[in-house]
Amino acid sequence: MDTNARSIAKAVSYRILGSISTAIIYFAFSGRAKEAAGVGVVDLFVKIALYYFHERLWNHVSFGRQRPPEYEI
């Protein structure tokens, strides 16, 4: 199970990349740099929070995890 700090670090690093791409796409369609930056910043914080809670919920799901052996020598 990941620690809270690791989940936060993963969320931040992933969302920085995602928010930059969102801002670039918004700018490409609108041509407005200031609005694109604002959308990127809002996107960053909202999606970090969503990712963090999603990640923490998945720590309680056993699907796809390997169980440690019941007995080791």
pTM confidence score: 0.65
What is the per-residue pLDDT across 13-70, written as a single tens digit (0 to 9) for each? 888 899 999 999 999 999 999 999 999 999 988 988 888 888 889 888 888 877 788 8
CB 36 within 8 A of CB 27: yes
* Dist CA 35 CA 42 (whole Å): 11
pLDDT for the residue numbered 20:
93
Q: What span, in angstroms and rounded, lies between the C-alpha atoms of 18 and 52?
A: 15
How do the domains of the chain map onto residue ranges?
4-58
